[in-house]
Amino acid sequence: MVNLKQLAKLPFKAFGSKSSKTFKPEVFDSHVMTTYGRFPLALTHGAGCRVWDDQDNEYLDFVAGIATCTLGHAHPVMVEAVTQQIQTLHHVSNLYYIPEQGALAQWLTEHSCTDRVFFCNSGAEANEAAIKLARKYGHTELGIEEPVIITAHASFHGRTLATVTATGQPKYQKNFAPLVPGFHYVTYNDIEALEGAIASLNANGPQVAAILLEALQGEGGVNPGNIQYFKRVRELCDQHKILLILDEVQVGVGRTGKLWGYENLDIEPDVITVAKGLGGGIPIGAMLCKSSCDVFQPGDHASTYGGNPFVCGVALAVCQTLESEHLMANASARGQQLRQGLLKLVDTYPHLFEQVRGWGLINGLVLKAEAPLKSLDIVKAATAQGLLLVPAGPNVIRFVPPLIVNPSEVNEALEKLTTAIKNIT
């Protein structure tokens, strides 16, 4: 059994495996489908906020698996949790009670406004579960024959057929028609557009069963929700008995400096979907809901791997570490530090940058529409300086480091980014 106290005394890199320098991209490409536009990097091991490639080049990781590696790489708590759980029990069917699943569900509900949890494997699956819940709620509670779910333009909810339809971005839907019926799109943070859509759809009787929104649009350009907008959304949902579903796949579990994104909006949703940071990189997703809208019955929904002992044991360790290491406070402080540095870049390069957006440790540096560079150009230049970043559309550079990032690493990232910008301008 791994000794946590001994691990904690070791430098992070002690956990990383040495690279073999034998990776061959052409072999990879001949066997793996080309569903990703990959950077020419083969990452082999990591420690803390750093990763190394197959040539032993070091990078400061401000991607974190796209807002997923909550505790960074090879964190002692995760090493211990993974080792202990795999030596105990890693998978059984949901035909039986799973104590680890119950413990994680209890932690999540006691730390949120929800009462019940359904476990799955990803954010897309969590949103699929929420869509099914909303449709059944519409049928059984509102008497709607063909329930409609309102979502936002520029949203992102997943890659399955239902969630890509819910996603309000045509580029993700191209060539996948016919899409799933029952979705209607409105402009994010535009309350008049939402009110108009509800009135139009409900003109001849109830049609709208749910409103599905991100607390902060991640893939849509790191676009935070407006507090007054969401308060009015909550009022409309109460008025029409509509479910308010918040997609917190990218912002949940401490990334915004608060445990949940909705805490930044001064409202409570009926349903929350979460994944990414929940397992710190171990695949897990969850749909959390209030008991008032828990209309699922045995057989309505299921997942073979969802909520197995392994993923739940690790996820619970991640959640408990958020509290014990005060990582939400760190996310808030480091996010403020990062935004201050990025704002200096906006002042230094006014012809390039427009603004900085974000909460906690999810931030976007926004390029002007007429800028001679795109976000991918700057991401590539930063990579050459040893800093990993990720675009959020063509005009936004996204910063989502592990929540354990320290002040010197934030300063280092800003220095590397500044050098990258100088080199390409």
Question: Catalytic residue numbers?
Answer: 156, 247, 276
Compute the distance between CA of residue 332 and CA of residue 336 in angstroms, rounded to an integer: 6
Q: What residues contact 13, with CB distance under 8 A and at least 6 apart?
A: 47, 50
89 touches 249 (CB < 8 A): no
Max Cα distance, the chain (Å): 67
Burial class from Cβ neighbours inside 10 Å (0-12, 13-18, 19+) for residue 315 reads: buried
Contact (CB, 8 A) for 332 and 405? no
Q: How far apart are CA 182 and CA 159, in angstroms?
A: 17
Spatial contact of 281 and 82, defined as CB atoms under 8 Å apart: no
Vertex 63, ends 62 and 65: CA angle to 5°? 140
Query: Partners of 390 in the beta sheet?
Result: 398
Place of tokens 């917190």: 248
Query: What one-letter code names the amino acid at 233?
Result: V
CB 136 within 8 A of CB 295: yes
